[in-house]
A and B are shown apart, each in its own frame.
Chain A
Amino acid sequence: MQPEASARPVVPHAEHFGDEASRQNAAHLGMWIFLATEVLLFAALFAPYALYRLAYPELFHQAREHMDLTLGTINTYVLVSSSVLVALAVASIRKGRELVASALLVGAVVLGITFLCIKGMEYAHHAKDKALPGAHYAFHQFAVPGASLYFTLYWIMTGVHAVHVTVGVGVLSVLCGQTLSGKFSAAYHTPLELGGMYWHLVDIVWLFLWPLLYLS
């Protein structure tokens, strides 16, 4: 049996979305909940790292000697700088400077691609050494129990992160195009803020990966 139609009039916007500020609040809260799920995804990768570092403390400490510290550190500066550019882009659009914001986003995209290229060079070095994940590990200079675990974690953690960087580059590129086309203004730029938050999360994950895999 079909329920009878409601006699109440249809309200085009619910009261809690009555103005732009309310919509912004809802959008930011939704984005933070999404980012929290991303944090828990990476936590599931940091957890086995913690366990195996506890099991093989010396080995994980020695493993950094087989990492390319220079490339890893350059990548840290690259990703942090790209985050700064995205923050400046948001500051620009808030002042209504669309062209400046677009240029800054282009800079962030270029730095994101630079990060991926440098990561690709590192991967090529490890593949050449046969420091590959799981059963494919055959790195003779570091053939001790637990070494394959370290490199398996390295490949998976940095690989999942690189996928996020790739998605982030795509998101920033789309936002850059939309900014250029005049979609955003000082009054409305919520998608740019949210896309920027995703990029900053990618940066945050690397800020932990870098010390864990390269420094200590």
Chain B
Amino acid sequence: MEGTLGYGKALLVGVALLALTTLSYGLSRLHLGNWGLVVALAIAAIKVSLVAFFYMHLSERSGGPRLVFATAGLFVVILIGLILVEASDRPAAVMPPGPFSIERLPGLDSQPGGEGGVR
């Protein structure tokens, strides 16, 4: 079978995964600001592609499995993407924590009415 997972390929992908993990850790120490999250997720996406394509045998199986993988990924992007688009379009007043004064901060037990944390 072409593209079959052998020792060489498994080890090569493994080394790439560990190297990308180290790269992700190293870049996080550089404090890239807002780009830090984007870069970290991009590296994670590359690692996931390697795992799915080689370790989960997508390279050996065209058709159905690849379609399911792509569809699942697309649905995740649609779900989270639409949530982010909708939420970033809202007026600030309707986003948490809202315009209300915060009387009961998390972690502060000495509130009127006494016991328990924040509801």
Q: Which residues of A contact B (CB under 8 A)?
A: 25, 28-29, 32-33, 35-36, 39-40, 43-44, 46-47, 50-52, 54-56, 73, 76-77, 80-81, 83-84, 86-88, 90-92, 94, 130, 134-140, 142-149, 193, 196-197, 200-201, 203-204, 207-208, 210-212, 215-216
Indicate which residue in B14, B41, B43 contacts A84 across the interface (CB closer than 8 Å). B14
Partner of A43, one of B21, B41, B79: B79
Given contacts A139-B107, A193-B57, A211-B40, is CB(A43)–CB(B80) below 8 Å?
yes
User: Which of B41, B56, B61, B68 meets A211, CB within 8 Å?
Assistant: B41
Range class of the B interface residue count: 35 or more
CB-based contact B83/A51 at 8 Å: yes
A77 to chain B: which residues have CB within 8 Å?
18, 21
Contacts of B57 in A (CB 8 A): 28, 193, 197
Q: Which residues from chain B sit less than 8 Å from chain A, CB to CB?
A: 4-7, 9-11, 13-14, 17-18, 21, 24-25, 28, 36-37, 40-41, 43-44, 47-48, 51-52, 54-57, 61, 64-65, 68-69, 71-73, 75-76, 79-80, 83-84, 87-88, 95-97, 102, 105-109, 116-119
Q: Are A54 and B117 in contact, CB atoms less than 8 angstroms apart?
A: no
Number of A-B residue pairs at CB separation under 8 A: 180
A210 to B40, CA, bound (A): 9
**B6, B55, B71 — most chain A CB neighbours (10 Å):** B55
The answer to whether A144 and B105 touch (CB under 8 A), given A40-B72, A90-B5, A193-B57, is yes
A88 to B14 CA separation, bound complex (whole angstroms) = 10
Complex formed: what's the CA distance from A94 to B12 in Å? Answer: 18
Residues from chain B with Cβ under 8 Å of A51 in the complex: 83-84, 87
19 A-B interface contacts by CB (under 8 A): A28-B65, A33-B68, A36-B72, A39-B73, A46-B80, A83-B55, A87-B10, A90-B10, A94-B6, A135-B117, A135-B118, A137-B117, A138-B109, A139-B106, A193-B57, A197-B57, A200-B51, A211-B44, A215-B40
